Amino acid sequence: MPIQTVGVIGAGQMGNGIAHVFATSGHDVLLSDVSADALTAAIGRIEKNTARQVSKSQMSEGDRDAALSRITATTELGELGGSDLVIEAATESEEVKDQIFAGLAPSLGPDTILTSNTSSLSITRLAAKTDRPERFMGFHFMNPVPLIQLVELIRGIATSEDTYQTLLAVVGKLGKTAASAEDYPGFIVNRVLIPMINEAIYALYEGVGDVASIDASLRLGANHPMGPLELGDFIGLDTCLAIMHVLNDGLADTKYRPCPLLVKYVEAGWLGRKTGRGFYDYRGETPVPTR
């Protein structure tokens, strides 16, 4: 089925990026959040980011105005029920996601496709609690959404081929590339990426190197654009820890044990860029390593 109207649940970092790319590709977007302030901030971020695209000649002023006009913000979850496609981009908590889908259920049209932007949770388990497991998929965008070209498509055990093909076409319309992943903990990207970050934290914890040397080693020695500790700060250390718990619980292998130092940073509230401190202190003009 053609997808024109898209509901996005969650106006945080991921949600506003998803709304941005759908609106600029010609879709009508309903962006929902329980917080009116979060919605205002999200629209402001989209306006700022699209203005940057205009300044770089990546889109015209007219296209920007048209894209912004296609975004509607609402605190009423039920207003998303008539959308062709709903993308849940709330916090990485299975309980929260279950509550959102349950709250949305009474207003859903029969053909609406439900998706979750979860980075690691079981799509099969999320889908089984809805009334349409065959029309439910994992739709995992990467941060920052407007810049990262990959989208992971994850089929639950009940996902239909029609649902998969519909979302594959949507990814193509967005100008992005789809990677199809099986429904196992962490999927592809985070199954590889987050344990690498966790191992870098172990190297710091064990005194193999300090923050600066570990990050420089991966940037210069492996040609990574960001060091693993810097990247952990960018993702959010609470998110990294949550994914490590999913991997550890789901795969029952000790190699996925979260580093105790990662746990301590999260307990301290040092979650990375979003809180001003993580493996770097971001409160000054230049980030400074904290260890």
Q: What is the pLDDT of residues 186-201, one digit of tens each?
A: 999 999 999 999 999 9
CA-derived radius of gyration, the chain = 19
Record the pTM.
Answer: 0.90
Tokens standing for 235? 């993702």
Is 198 noted as a catalytic residue in this protein? Answer: no
- Report pLDDT digits (tens) over 56-90: 999 999 999 999 999 999 999 999 999 999 999 99
Of the candidates 140, 198, 230, 248, the residue annotated as catalytic is 140
60 tagged catalytic? no
pLDDT in tens, 264-275: 999 999 999 999
Distance CA 106, CA 221 (A): 53
Selecting among 152, 198, 230, 248, the annotated active-site residue is: 152
- Told to judge if 140 belongs to the known catalytic residues of this protein, a careful annotator would answer yes
The Cα–Cα gap between 184 and 250 comes to 8
